[in-house]
Structure 1
């Protein structure tokens, strides 16, 4: 079984199309979508129309939860842009998505961790910024999740770790946004360092699961120009460079 894991598309339709083309060339038995699908200053409605007919196993991320809740005028700029762009049928599609999902008996899809769509799984934020999580920290976050493979997103960083009991946790990185800054719980930056769209393939082998991280070229300058046109210089820089 070969799984193509996509996450954090953030309405970047060009990046999504490039990744789907790469998946077709690489081959996969199933493509999964780990959330944060539409929010951002690019193409939320068009991205929803691209994805919905594919019927991919898909979960909500924190941004899906946020753009469905409360007053759109009080949302952050990424969620607010998406909310005003989406049709009722697209919002209904998002509303029906689960927060976690199982593929068979031993693959678990989560956005952040099994407990929270906002928690980082493989990274830890301190007063000094963001660092790679320790083995013990990841063990605690995995808890008793009963799966040999846990696929997560949220941090936009490609990373994997194998726990002592053999469980593999994989973050495929972000399809649509290769850097962002946040101030919770402390100011920090998440940066991949290049603008390539990212995803991962995970293949079941005799010895367990094998991971391949993929980086795909697309027209990121066009995406960056659109972000600038829509008043998001932070996105423009991130899309063009992979840095904040």
Structure 2
């Protein structure tokens, strides 16, 4: 079995199209999308329509949940923009997505971790910033999941890590947004340092699962300019550089 894994597209259709072109050259049995597909100041409607036409497995990320939040619950500017662009058909589509899924007996899918769509799986945030999660932290976040291969997204950082049990956990990185900042639970930066679109290929071999982390160039400057035109300067900088601006 050979699978392509995408996640955290964030409405960046040109990045997604570049990734799909690369996937088609390599040949896979299926494509899996782990969520956070639309939120952001780019092309949420066009991205939704593209994804709805694909015969892929799709998950909901935390931003799908936040886009669907009732009007009494404040949305971020990114989620508000996406919600305003989407029609009834697209909103119905994302409402039907799940945040996690047992894909096969040996493959488990989640956006964040098995227990939360906002928890970081392979990283931990402390008062001093972001660091790699310890083996004990990863084991705790796995919980009772017994699958040989666990696929996750959310942090936008491409990594493949084996738990103490030997289970392989793969985060393909973000297709559409290579850097961001957050304040929960402490202020921290997430940066890949490159504007490339990211995805992963995982393959079952006789001795177990292997993972390849892919970095794909695309016409990122046009997306940075689009974000800038929509008064999202941090997004523009992240899309152009893979870094967040320093205050």
- Shorter-chain TM-score: which interval? over 0.9
Runs of 4+ with deviation above 6 angstroms? none
Secondary structure of 1:202 counterpart: strand
**Where does structure 1 lack aligned partners over 5 or more consecutive residues?**
none
How many residues align? The count is 244
TM-superposed CA distance for 1:164, in Å, is 2.2
Q: 1:72 to 1:94 in 2, by over 3 A?
A: farther
Q: In the alignment, what sits opposite 1:116?
A: 116
- C-alpha separation between the residues in 1 aligned to 2:55 and 2:82? 21
- C-alpha separation between the residues in 1 aligned to 2:198 and 2:141? 24
Q: 1:134 to 1:73 in 2, by over 3 A?
A: closer
- C-alpha separation between the residues in 2 aligned to 1:153 and 1:73? 25
TM-superposed CA distance for 1:159, in Å, is 0.7
Does the Cα contact within 8 Å between 1:151 and 1:170 map onto a contact in 2? yes
Does the alignment pair 1:15 with 2:15? yes
Q: In the alignment, what sits opposite 2:175?
A: 175
Q: In the alignment, what sits opposite 1:38?
A: 38
Does the Cα contact within 8 Å between 1:72 and 1:83 map onto a contact in 2? no
Secondary structure of 1:131 counterpart: strand
TM-superposed CA distance for 1:72, in Å, is 7.6
Secondary structure of 1:115 counterpart: coil
Q: Deviations over 1:206-229 (max 9, x none)?
A: 111111000001000000000000
Does the Cα contact within 8 Å between 1:73 and 1:80 map onto a contact in 2? no
- C-alpha separation between the residues in 1 aligned to 2:154 and 2:204? 24
Q: In the alignment, what sits opposite 1:77?
A: 77
TM-superposed CA distance for 1:27, in Å, is 1.2
- C-alpha separation between the residues in 2 aligned to 1:101 and 1:27? 24
The alignment's TM-score, normalised by the length of structure 1, stands at 0.98
Q: In the alignment, what sits opposite 2:198?
A: 198
Q: In the alignment, what sits opposite 2:25?
A: 25
TM-superposed CA distance for 1:74, in Å, is 2.6
Does the alignment pair 1:93 with 2:84? no
- C-alpha separation between the residues in 2 aligned to 1:169 and 1:148? 9
- C-alpha separation between the residues in 2 aligned to 1:133 and 1:165? 16
- C-alpha separation between the residues in 1 aligned to 2:205 and 2:10? 32
TM-superposed CA distance for 1:162, in Å, is 0.8
TM-superposed CA distance for 1:73, in Å, is 8.2
RMSD (CA atoms):
0.9
**Where does structure 2 lack aligned partners over 5 or more consecutive residues?**
none
The alignment's TM-score, normalised by the length of structure 2, stands at 0.97
